[in-house]
A and B are shown apart, each in its own frame.
Chain A
């Protein structure tokens, strides 16, 4: 029966090619626009590290101006001071993985290959736990250990891209790069790794590409007069003469990995104790306001999904609604237009249910074709989005899941659009049509 109805559906669609094409275009446009907005939105609102996003916590401490909060109503700064991040990295209870980090800007040269053009590196100074905490995959070598952190070891982990640029993509572990007159030994090369959004540091754009290189935080500390901070620096008071690294200015991020609720509570208590102790020294003049936010909370707090994208998503669903209303109207016209045929079929014994089913199958087929057209349009739409937004290179991508959603949505939309027309047509009185024929 299904095959028979499918054949009928195809024949019926072929009989009115113009009208069928109009409907396919209407569904296709609706799905195309919707899928374009939805895929951008889904990737922006997506979880960049799903299997452990509920165990990784961003730390916030409120060292801000006693007279006014960092953000109304009473939000603590979104980054930490250098010294607090260092202190937390050193003093956090044993067994808790931690990563203190800050963006760093330097120029790398390859000392044994002077023909290689020096590269401006947007890097990250961090602690050795970073790689395990954030599941960084390695192509060659690996990260560094706690000893390297303690000694400010002159080591570096390169991104795959930077390794391509400096070493032609070869296994560069053991080779050196030079920053000014400091030599850094390559210990690892990261494989393709592209957390989107780049949750671990949102301060310089949630969709910034991942860092070019990683060095120990303690090494940056040693070279802090020469190497530049890369990222946003916020101060509520002028830094002291000793400089920004000894100030209340915030430009450092700090993450911990906490396996369960007890450990979250314990760590919260640890943070409170740390701040109380600092209060004794005259710092942290605001009331206790320490925060631990897991990855998804952190993305929320930092408003990673931009209002523009939510507005576009809402409008695109309204667009889909118009397309569907359009399709309903066209279907109604088409079905009622062949009421005569249906009258004959009904008179010859086809039940209402069969007629209904036959027409629903027809709109299902329309929906599926519309979905394919819509996917093509969404693909073009995403190419358009990529060319419009410099940052969205990696956000505006179609993936398999979205393809499935698109086809499903299209068939569903088609069937919803077809319900009423199919119901109308199956309820016609056959006698009327038999008489006029």
Chain B
């Protein structure tokens, strides 16, 4: 196929071709960068939590007055929850995992106040059923026995209670002891308490989904009944979750009606809500990307249709001189390919420029270069698909057109 006639035909309507090439350039820049952001958000939301989130029911009780804010109330609630049919395990907790609300703490291997190796960590306070209630996997060492569960009489005491044993996530343990020998070691927090690492769980994400240290968590067996608000984590057996969701409020209120039970929902819902902004960003970007491709298709389609209608006579002449229908189709597809290619070349520069702006202004990571060839291939395909209809119509032009005067 000769490219010369295509080029000379195109040059007769330069402006139209340039306009479409520009559209393709901007489209490529936006597609690559938006697609890259979308992939990062999807990866972020896809991280394993370490919890059996789909089978866990969470809820909060709020005392109406000070009656029933003590350790015996928590014990009674746990008895009631654990006695429910379908419940595998239950534990109290001051806040829910991945809820964007919780207690941040810091540990260090030396306990020096300005230790550069201090590690930020989410502090979970659960009881002996915590491991089971969250559905975590113990990798090394042990979990806590019931005799280890302490009770803090108020929030201030929490900071002064000794912490003999803690369980860490693998990520936190490796951060503190990069050689991987964390089990059995002593670590320090910043009120200066020392504690022994008695167990390591594979994975247990922290309270804050956007945190740099989302994989660092520690577990401490302690109850904090001083607060008038108390969360519970209730792990249900497969298939029993919805029944427990329905029944749990009345079970707890039967024990003590002078309180409110609220936010009864699965841990998966809690996590989903915490990722709300990321999900919204993903959906919005995908919508913009989709519309953008649609508009670009319209642009290519419009240009090609226009070219076909303007060149009816030339096409007829070519047909009369022996060009087959397939030659005509190929002519227009190639023309579209040339325009798309010019567009994506300019678009590559634009995509890099846009990425530089995003990296510079918003602390986003640098665009992964592989998105550019992927975008180019996609736009080539889009260009061919959009030109196919007009090309077919061109091929349908009768050779006899050439013989007519108008």
Contacts and interface: CB of A to CB of B under 8 A. Distances in A.
A315 B34 contact: yes
A12 B177 CA distance: 76
Contact of B295 (A310, A323, A424, A436): A323
Contacts of A109: 64
A385 interface: yes
Contacts of B62: 107, 120
B362 A311 contact: yes
Contacts of A316: 288
B248 interface: no
A239 B160 CA distance: 10
A325 B22 contact: yes
Nearest to B29: A318
B296 A120 contact: no
Given A228-B229, A239-B159, A330-B302, A310 B288 contact: no
A107 B260 contact: yes
A388 B41 CA distance: 15
A287 interface: no
Interface size class of A (residues with CB under 8 A): 35 or more
A109 B279 CA distance: 38
Interface in A298-318: 306-308, 310-312, 314-316, 318
Question: Which of B228, B357, B406 is most buried by chain A, counting CB atoms within 10 A of its CB?
Answer: B228
B122 to A, nearest CB: 15
A423 to B, nearest CB: 11
Contact of B23 (A118, A180, A322): A322
B302 A22 contact: yes
Interface string B329-361: 000000000000000000000000010011001
A270 interface: no
B156 interface: yes
A77 to B, nearest CB: 15
Contacts of B357: 314
Interface size class of B (residues with CB under 8 A): 35 or more
A257 B4 CA distance: 75
Contacts of A326: 19, 23, 295-296, 298-299, 302
Question: Which of A67, A243, A314 is most buried by chain B, counting CB atoms within 10 A of its CB?
Answer: A314
16 contacts: A22-B302, A107-B65, A118-B260, A244-B156, A308-B277, A318-B30, A318-B354, A323-B295, A325-B20, A326-B299, A329-B15, A332-B19, A337-B306, A337-B309, A384-B283, A385-B280
Interface of B: 15-16, 19-20, 22-23, 26-27, 29-30, 33-34, 37, 62-66, 113-114, 155-156, 159-160, 190-191, 227-229, 260, 262, 273, 276-277, 279-281, 283-285, 287-288, 291-292, 294-296, 298-299, 302-303, 305-306, 309-310, 354, 357-358, 361-364, 406
Given A107-B63, A226-B228, A326-B296, 20 more contacts: A107-B65, A118-B64, A180-B64, A226-B66, A228-B228, A228-B229, A237-B190, A238-B191, A239-B159, A315-B30, A318-B30, A322-B26, A329-B16, A329-B302, A333-B302, A337-B306, A388-B279, A388-B284, A390-B273, A436-B406
